[in-house]
């Protein structure tokens, strides 16, 4: 049998030799690895270092602001009037001193081919137009045109990309240096053209801040911001008028940020970081869509009617082509309707308006209910023969004239005046007549409102006020102070762009003729031109008996997902305190005023008509003016209507107001609850 016994000494020696070998192999491996690392570091530093350094220096971080989706403008009940949808647009960014002209021209041609071959054929853009939109300062022939406006600002080349265009440009991004696809919003206005001048419109940011092109300080200050969350793109559309401008910051939201590293060839060489934009807030107007549309329709229909009534001496108004109306709640100041007719489709502004389109709307896009707007005549000589939207308020001032007389103590409510139909004043015996020379006989203050007596106002208010203050020379200031207390001759506080404070012609008359003549004529409404909004605010003040409320157009602000941010409360701008019997006196007269179209109404109406006469191009022109509030016992709504060249206020303007009151009664309720049987709607 074999001997299997192992010598322990030999076994121990064998183990020691194997361990030493493994240990030596390990140290050798470590040595080789360190040697390789050292050699590699040496190569990086001394051989590749220069090239890597150049590559690093050519790498930069690109950052683009992503404009947010603009908030929606709703009517009071939540009907969308202006809303934005998301779209994909292609932008181009230039950097000063880095653009090769040949490469840029070729880029324009390549983009032309993409838009032609992969886009909607109707939306194709020629290379000539593309290079203009690039704003690089030269044309396709590399001939200088103008210095680029702003470097490093993306220029929109095309909006509303279709999927094929997006896919091709994204897949071949490296072939289009400086070109980026970005999401942006497109504004859509309701095709029913609801309160379009009040809602306003958008213009590109570059136009909105351009000092030479009617730009605004508001946007020039925005251009100075370095905060990427609020930075505006030149091509971004911003509010330029109306609510769009007044609530620009709330509607816009905040930018998103797209950040990525690129090399010298503008190729992305690292991960993209994206911060999503914050959507803009929603604005809910005080405008009621149904009342607004009824107002607009009533004006248009009535203008057509009075232009056609050739055989009706009281109603025929052949040149009545424009009309303005405002309906304002007496106790809140909320404007439920504001119309400036004719209006237009404000979608025409999208992407920039053409000269031809602008010429078509230049006398329609501004809000004639708050500013002076000319009648829509293309011929300037013909246009000069017609009144603007600012007309004398005529006899609608007479309730205020009576209040002034009572407040000053120059008349009493029951004092009798013998109205012979005419009066004279001054050294030259200037004559003032009633309408049609009508003699009313013995009348008092409220009857003078009812009968609309020019002679009463002239002799009892104008002359007496002049005699009281002429020695101190303050007669015109006294009158002016009263006007402004009631919102006539000062802005309404609306905050809207282009709002006029009105024109106080009585100051010109006092200077050019005499203070006596100015006060006599002003007392019955021939010396002050005011906006329809001012007349509505004034009428509301008569209705609530002394509080001048700021016109309010916005009911509430919400987030994009309709979480409440803010509601708007009534704001009193100033208040006058008169005895109750003064207000009772004027209301008594206003309740009896003759007003066409108000037969059979289900509510009481305190009103005043006005036929304001202007001399234009050596012709006497009558403008129809009408103010009213209802219900008289507890006023809820004040309405003012102005129809230039509309003739008599009782016929040329009052029927429009009737439609507005009925619409409000149906929708809201003059007595607190909607009355579906109030009148018949004109809106189809």
Q: What's the pLDDT tens digit per position in 183-209?
A: 777 899 999 999 999 999 999 888 888
Distance CA 156, CA 340 (A): 34
Task: Give how far Cα 530 sits from Cα of 26, 370, 665, Å.
Answer: 100, 9, 27
Q: What's the pLDDT tens digit per position in 205-240?
A: 888 888 766 779 999 988 888 787 788 887 788 999
Token look-up 């000539």 returns 128
Residue 556 has pLDDT above 60, yes or no: yes
The pLDDT, as a whole number, for residue 351 is 74
Higher pLDDT, 12 or 207: 207
Band (59; pLDDT cuts 50, 70, 90): low
Residue 97 has pLDDT above 80, yes or no: no
Say if residue 682 is preceded by a cis peptide, omega within 30 of 0: no
* 461-496 core/surface letters (b: 16 or more CB in 10 A; e: else): bbbbbbeebeeeeebbebbbebbbbbbbbbbbbbeb
Nearest to 317, CA basis, from 367, 375, 378:
375
The pLDDT, as a whole number, for residue 442 is 98
Domain extents in the chain = 70-136+150-262, 394-567
Contact at 8 Å (CB) between 522 and 462? yes
Say if residue 342 is preceded by a cis peptide, omega within 30 of 0: yes
For the record, the structure tokens of 635 come out as 């006023």
The pLDDT, as a whole number, for residue 139 is 86
For the record, the structure tokens of 24 come out as 């030596």
Lowest model confidence (mean pLDDT) among 18-32, 203-217, 432-446 = 18-32
**What mean pLDDT comes out for the span 1-15?**
60
Residue 55 has pLDDT above 60, yes or no: no
Higher pLDDT, 442 or 140: 442
256-262, strands of its sheet edge to edge: 60-66, 256-262, 273-275
Distance CA 280, CA 558 (A): 9
Task: Give how far Cα 371 sits from Cα of 291, 637, 643, Å.
Answer: 22, 22, 14
Contacts of 456 (CB under 8 A, 6+ apart): 417, 419, 443, 448
The pLDDT, as a whole number, for residue 38 is 77
In this structure, the number of other CB atoms found within 10 A of the CB of residue 616 comes to 14
The pLDDT, as a whole number, for residue 332 is 98
Higher pLDDT, 49 or 64: 64
Distance CA 681, CA 330 (A): 23
The pLDDT, as a whole number, for residue 39 is 72
Q: Three-class SS of residue 494?
A: coil
Q: What's the pLDDT tens digit per position in 388-420?
A: 999 999 999 999 999 999 999 999 999 999 999
The pLDDT, as a whole number, for residue 394 is 96
Strands 282-285 and 73-74: parallel
Residue 600 has pLDDT above 60, yes or no: yes
**What mean pLDDT comes out for the span 561-589?**
97
Band (160; pLDDT cuts 50, 70, 90): confident
Band (271; pLDDT cuts 50, 70, 90): confident
Q: What's the pLDDT tens digit per position in 444-497?
A: 999 999 999 999 999 999 999 999 999 999 999 999 999 999 999 999 999 999
Band (10; pLDDT cuts 50, 70, 90): low
Contact at 8 Å (CB) between 92 and 155? yes
Q: What's the pLDDT tens digit per position in 106-153?
A: 999 999 999 999 998 888 899 999 998 888 888 888 888 876 655 556
CA 40 to chain centre: 67
Contact at 8 Å (CB) between 195 and 74? no
Please name every residue paired with 635 in a beta bridge, in sequence order, or none if there are none: none
Element (H, E) at 80: strand 80-92
Q: Three-class SS of residue 148?
A: coil
Q: Which CATH architecture has domain 394-567?
A: 3-Layer(aba) Sandwich (3.40)
* CATH superfamily for domain 70-136+150-262: Penicillin-binding protein 2a (Domain 2) (3.90.1310.10)
Distance CA 325, CA 250 (A): 28
Q: What's the pLDDT tens digit per position in 613-667?
A: 999 988 999 999 999 999 999 999 999 999 999 999 999 999 999 999 999 999 9
Element (H, E) at 638: strand 637-643
The pLDDT, as a whole number, for residue 9 is 65
**What mean pLDDT comes out for the span 316-323?**
96
CA dihedral 454, 457, 459, 460 (to 10 degrees): 150
Band (604; pLDDT cuts 50, 70, 90): very high
CA-derived radius of gyration, the chain: 37
Contacts of 513 (CB under 8 A, 6+ apart): none
For the record, the structure tokens of 105 come out as 């021209």
φ and ψ of 597, to 5 deg:
95, 0
Contact at 8 Å (CB) between 534 and 296? no
The pLDDT, as a whole number, for residue 486 is 98
**668: exposed, middle or buried (Cβ count in 10 Å: 0-12, 13-18, 19+):** buried
Distance CA 285, CA 504 (A): 32
Contacts of 664 (CB under 8 A, 6+ apart): 288, 291, 327, 336, 636, 637, 670
For the record, the structure tokens of 228 come out as 């990427």
Please name every residue paired with 88 in a beta bridge, in sequence order, or none if there are none: 183
Residue 6 has pLDDT above 70, yes or no: no
Distance CA 672, CA 190 (A): 30
Tell me the percentage of the chain whose pLDDT exceeds 70.
Answer: 90
Nearest to 626, CA basis, from 645, 615, 639:
639
């Amino acid at each position: 049998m074999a001997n299997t016994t192992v010598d322990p000494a030999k076994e121990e020696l064998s183990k020691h030799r194997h361990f030493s070998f493994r240990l030596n192999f390990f140290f050798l491996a470590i040595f080789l690895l360190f040697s390789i690392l050292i050699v590699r570091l040496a190569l990086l530093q001394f051989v590749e270092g220069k090239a890597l350094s150049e590559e690093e220096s050519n790498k930069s971080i690109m950052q683009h602001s992503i404009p947010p989706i603009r908030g929606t403008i709703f009517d009071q009940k939540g009907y969308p009037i202006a809303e934005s949808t998301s779209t994909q647009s292609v932008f181009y960014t230039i950097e000063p001193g880095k653009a090769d002209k040949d490469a840029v021209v070729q880029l324009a041609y390549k983009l032309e081919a993409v838009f032609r071959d992969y886009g909607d054929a109707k939306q194709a853009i020629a290379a000539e137009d593309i290079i203009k939109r690039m704003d690089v300062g030269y044309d396709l022939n590399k001939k200088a045109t103008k210095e680029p406006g702003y470097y490093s600002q993306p220029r929109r080349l095309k909006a509303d990309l279709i999927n094929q265009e997006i896919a091709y440009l994204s897949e071949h991004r490296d072939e289009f240096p400086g070109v980026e696809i970005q999401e942006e919003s497109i504004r859509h206005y309701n095709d029913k053209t609801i309160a379009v001048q009040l809602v306003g419109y958008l213009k590109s940011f570059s136009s909105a801040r351009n000092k030479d092109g009617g730009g605004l300080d508001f946007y020039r200050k925005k251009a100075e911001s370095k905060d990427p969350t609020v930075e505006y793109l030149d091509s971004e559309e911003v509010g330029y008028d109306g609510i769009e401008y007044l609530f620009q910051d709330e509607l816009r939201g905040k930018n998103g940020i797209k950040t990525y590293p690129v090399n010298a060839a503008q190729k992305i060489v690292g991960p993209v970081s994206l911060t999503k934009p914050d959507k803009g807030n929603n604005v809910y107007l005080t405008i009621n869509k149904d009342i607004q549309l009824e107002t607009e329709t009533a004006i248009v229909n009535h203008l057509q009617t009075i232009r056609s009534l050739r055989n009706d001496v009281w109603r025929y108004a052949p040149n009545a082509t424009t009309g303005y109306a405002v309906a304002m709640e007496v106790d809140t100041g909320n404007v439920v309707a504001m119309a400036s007719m004719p209006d237009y489709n404000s979608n025409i502004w999208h992407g920039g308006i053409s000269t031809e389109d602008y010429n078509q709307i230049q006398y329609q896009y501004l809000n004639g209910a708050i500013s002076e707007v000319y009648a829509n005549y293309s011929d300037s000589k013909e246009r000069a023969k017609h009144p603007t939207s600012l007309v004398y308020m005529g006899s609608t001032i007479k309730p205020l004239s009576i209040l002034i007389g009572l407040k000053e103590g120059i008349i009493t409510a029951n004092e009798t005046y013998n109205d012979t139909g005419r009066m004279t004043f001054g050294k030259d015996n200037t004559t003032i007549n009633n309408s049609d020379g009508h003699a009313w006989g013995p009348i008092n203050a409220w009857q003078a409102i009812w009968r609309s007596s020019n002679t009463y106002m002239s002799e009892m208010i104008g002359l007496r006020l002049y005699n009281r203050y002429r020695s101190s020379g303050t007669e015109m200031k006294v009158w002016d102070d009263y006007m402004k207390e009631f919102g006539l001759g000062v802005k309404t506080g609306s905050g809207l762009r282009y709002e006029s404070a009105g024109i106080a012609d009585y100051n010109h008359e006092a200077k050019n003729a005499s203070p006596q003549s100015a006060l006599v004529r002003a007392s019955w409404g021939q010396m002050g031109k005011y906006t329809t909004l001012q007349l509505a605010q004034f009428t509301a003040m008569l209705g609530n008996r002394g509080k001048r409320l700021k016109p309010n157009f916005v009911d509430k602000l919400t987030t994009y997902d309709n979480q409440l941010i803010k509601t708007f409360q009534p704001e009193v701008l100033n208040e006058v305190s008169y005895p109750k019997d003064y207000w009772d006196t004027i209301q008594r007269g206003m309740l009896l005023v003759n007003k066409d179209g108000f037969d059979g109404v289900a509510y009481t109406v305190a009103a005043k008509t006005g036929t304001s006469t202007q001399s234009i191009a050596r012709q006497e022109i009558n403008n129809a003016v009408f103010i009213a509030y209802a219900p008289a016992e507890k006023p809820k709504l004040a309405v003012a209507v102005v129809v230039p060249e509309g003739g008599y206020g009782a016929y040329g303007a009052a029927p429009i107001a009737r439609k507005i009151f009925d619409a409000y009664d149906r929708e809201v309720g003059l007595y607190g609850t909607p009355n579906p049987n109030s009148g018949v709607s004109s809106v189809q």
